[in-house]
Amino acid sequence: MKYKQIVFDVDGTLMNNEFAVLRSFQDTIREVTGKTMEMEELKFCLGIPGESAISQLGIEDTSGTLELWVRKLAKYEDTVRVFEGIPELLERLKKAGYKMGIVTSRTRELQDEDFKNRSIRTYFETVVCADECITPKPTAGPLLKYMELTGTECRELLYIGDSIYDLECAENAGVDFALAGWGSSNHHIQAERIVKMPEELFCYLNV
C-alpha cells in the first residue's frame, strides 16, 4: 500500500454541517454585535478554528463568543448529517488494512460532543483538534502533531479535506492531499487529487 494512514478533516468532509455552522455563527454575531450578516458573508469561517473566525470580525472577547457559538450550534444539531457514502468508505478502508484518523479545526470539546453518538467514531484511532496544536491550519502543525502521535512519516499519509486551509496544511507538512469534492464549497481550489464521491477515493490508493 502506498499509504499507511488515511486522515480526514471533519466539517465538509465527513460531516455535512455547513448550514448549522453558518446559521449558528450568524445568530452569535447578531447577539454579540447587534449586526445581522448574511450567511454568504460568513463562509470565510468554514475550515478555520472558531477563534480565528471570530477575531477576523474584530470581536475582542473571542473565548466568550466561542462559547456562545458552541451553545447556539447545538440548536441546529438535527440538521447535521454524515455525508452519503462515508460509512461505506470507512468500512472498506478498514477491511483493506488502512489506519484512519482525524485532523480538524474543531476544539476537542466540540469534536467529542458531536461524535459521541455517531457510529463512524469507532473507525478513528487518532484525533488531533485545533486546541491541541501550537499553530492551527493552514500551518503544518496539526499534521505534524498527528505524525508525532502515530509514529508515521509524511509520505505515509493521505489527508482528505474540503478547504484551502486543509490543502495548505498538507502542503506545508509535505503530506499528499485529496480534495473532498462531495463536500467542498470551494470548487476553485486547484488540487492534484479531486475526489468527486467517497467511493472514488480508491482510485488514488494502491489496494
Residues 142 and 165 both lie in one domain: yes
Residues 86 and 175 both lie in one domain: yes
Handedness of CA 23, 46, 113, 78 (dihedral sign): positive
CA distance 92 to 86: 10
Q: For the chain, how big is the Rg over CA atoms in Å?
A: 17
pLDDT at 139: 95
Per-residue pLDDT tens, the chain, 207 aa: give them: 889 999 999 999 999 988 999 999 999 999 999 999 999 999 888 877 788 899 999 999 999 999 999 899 889 988 999 999 999 999 999 999 999 999 999 889 889 888 988 999 999 999 999 999 989 899 999 999 999 999 999 999 999 999 999 999 999 999 999 999 998 766 678 899 999 999 999 988 864
Show Cβ contacts of residue 148 under 8 Å, excluding neighbours closer than 6 positions. Answer: none
DSSP string of 136-175, one letter each residue: -TTSSHHHHHHHHHHT--GGGEEEEESSHHHHHHHHHHT-
State yes or no: cis peptide before 49, omega within 30 of 0.
no
Domain end marker among 33, 51, 79: 79
Domain end marker among 79, 100, 115: 79
Residues 87 and 143 both lie in one domain: yes
Domain with 45 in it: what CATH number?
1.10.150
CA dihedral 154, 151, 202, 104 (to 10 degrees): -80
Residues 25 and 9 both lie in one domain: no
CA distance 128 to 146: 6
| Counted domains in the chain | 2
Residues 88 and 179 both lie in one domain: yes
Strands of the chain, DSSP E: 5-8, 15-16, 81-82, 99-103, 126-128, 157-161, 176-180, 194-195
Flag whether the pTM goes above 0.85. Answer: yes
DSSP state of 180: E
Residues 135 and 181 both lie in one domain: yes
pLDDT at 207: 45
pLDDT at 7: 98
Quote the domain boundaries for residue 37: 18-79
The three grid cell numbers given for residue 169, joined into one nine-digit string? 496544511
CA distance 179 to 82: 17
Domain end marker among 79, 111, 131: 79
